[in-house]
Structure 1
């Protein structure tokens, strides 16, 4: 059983993304430039492959794709999935594959994913070391979700965890400085949802209140969630009390201005110190601008799946009545 994933996410209003151009350009650069930054050696090893993915002949679906330990990397384009069945196409993460991707982005698909890893002991794709995504929804036109994922054990590792954390903080900060995001986070992954959205009971809250496909539209009016790293857009800085109030409240180790007027809010220097007390402080600090709604604890997951269940780092109160 693999450990939970850590989600590095930015929500980008493409119209305010500086000199990046449209959807296709933002998505392409996110996958291309970030994968080179975090896995340059692998990208170099894969660049000479043809565009089309070629694997050894297989008689059964579970037959190996190649030799155990073999490097693999693919880019996948998904179209449809809202009013029509989703269709996917994949190519190697090579120079030819990226030329194919560039052409695909002339008519933006629903989702683009880049994955790099090594075939496991059975010759299957499993141990991904790089997972990057760019996604948009017809329900939030103009918005793009940029996402990267890593594994919890790398963030928590006593020897190398702080270095991994700093690496992702630096990478995300460079993009946040350029893209003026409406929201951003480093948190336990729950698809594209925040922990708050994922914990709002469907019986009480419609999709427009808890589903990222809709809540992206409102992220400059209501904060989608809160986490170890939270990016507060410029529109919510004053309603949250301003930079001085957020620095003085004791909830954040760093309150840094972003070029677009937003704030980079880091709760603790080390992800391992983001405990219940730290979560409480962040919730109280950001309650004035959080999306209203009372989250509920998730039921316990029985073994053996429990080891893969991310913790709910939340205060189970409605921010609208929390008093800030």
Structure 2
């Protein structure tokens, strides 16, 4: 069995999920994400369309080492909580259901093991999700989490560019409050800072994305409000802390710390931390003893200087 469980994650937070064009944005993320973020696996999956669902999960889903997938939508208003194997029909169904502003949706793509069953430990898998806040349905998050090892090679700049290109296009929408691409995901919807600072939980962190920065990573998207507090694009360019700085069409600011994920060193991380410090929540970061993975952050209170 393969043991490459390195994870790459992208997420984008919105406070405009009730907008007329948001279903189009989320449907594109869910149904086009696999083709853009894992093209080799997606092409392999297309050869198995339409896929079938076994009667029991521990039965073969397909041929050994082939690619299998499914879509899932849950919408309490429409009394829907349903999964369907990947096919042209199920993709059309998901696009249609997303137009009704569901509570959530997911597309999963995974490679099967030697018995034709998905790996239990989550390797060789891509999940594209839409999550909506239970209390404030205009707040939502799009997330992609991949453990497909062939797309996580740190030297593969072209793979990095695939993720950045798709991510950037989606983040160029109105209502973006935060976004990032990282390799230190600890839990769904969380950032590294969410796990080491007391800030009212992940849901509260998402809700306050315009007022305080949720986290900083290889690629970070600042809300327009936070960007203005830092002096805007010109000030961030003058800092010389970033490989790329630009204003997105929706008003948020795109920051890329280095050309590739491999170049996102501790020194680079400290450099961007120092620039972003005014909008990073204060507090002494503390390791959660129940968490197995240590987040990639600067272990300093943002209210203090690094040196």
With the shorter chain as reference, the TM-score category is: 0.7 to 0.9
- Tell me which residue corresponds to 1:35: 34
Q: CA deviation at 1:2?
A: 4.2
TM-score by length of 1: 0.79
Alignment of 1:260-279 (within 5 A): 260-279=250-269
Alignment of 1:1-324 (within 5 A): 1-14=3-16, 21-22=21-22, 24-38=23-37, 39=39, 41-42=43-44, 44-47=46-49, 49=50, 53-55=52-54, 62-78=58-74, 88-105=81-98, 107-126=100-119, 127-151=123-147, 153-154=149-150, 157=153, 161-187=156-182, 188-190=184-186, 191-200=188-197, 205=198, 209-299=199-289, 310-322=293-305
Which secondary structure does the structure 2 equivalent of 1:77 belong to?
A: strand
Q: CA deviation at 1:137?
A: 1.5
Q: CA deviation at 1:229?
A: 0.6
Q: CA deviation at 1:68?
A: 1.1
TM-score by length of 2: 0.83
Q: Distance in 2 between matches of 1:73 and 1:299?
A: 34
- The answer as to whether partners of 1:140 and 1:214 remain within 8 angstroms in 2 is no
Which secondary structure does the structure 1 equivalent of 2:172 belong to?
A: helix
Q: Distance in 2 between matches of 1:54 and 1:257?
A: 44
Q: CA deviation at 1:167?
A: 1.0
Q: CA deviation at 1:122?
A: 2.5
Q: CA deviation at 1:289?
A: 1.1
Distance 1:220 1:272, change over 3 A: same
Aligned length: 295
Distance 1:77 1:128, change over 3 A: farther
Q: Distance in 1 between matches of 2:62 and 2:86?
A: 16
Which secondary structure does the structure 1 equivalent of 2:259 belong to?
A: coil
- The answer as to whether partners of 1:131 and 1:148 remain within 8 angstroms in 2 is yes
Q: CA deviation at 1:168?
A: 0.5
Distance 1:137 1:16, change over 3 A: closer
What's the Cα RMSD here?
3.0
- The answer as to whether partners of 1:185 and 1:228 remain within 8 angstroms in 2 is yes
Q: Distance in 2 between matches of 1:63 and 1:91?
A: 16
Distance 1:139 1:293, change over 3 A: farther
Where has structure 1 moved over 4 Å in runs of 4 or more?
152-156, 298-301, 321-324
**Unaligned regions of 5+ residues in structure 1, if any?**
81-86, 302-308
Q: Distance in 2 between matches of 1:16 and 1:263?
A: 22
Per mean C-alpha deviation after superposition, the further-off stretch among 4-13 and 172-181 is 172-181
List per-residue Cα deviations over 1:244-296 (Å, max 9, x = no partner).
32222232111112112221111111211212211111111101112233211
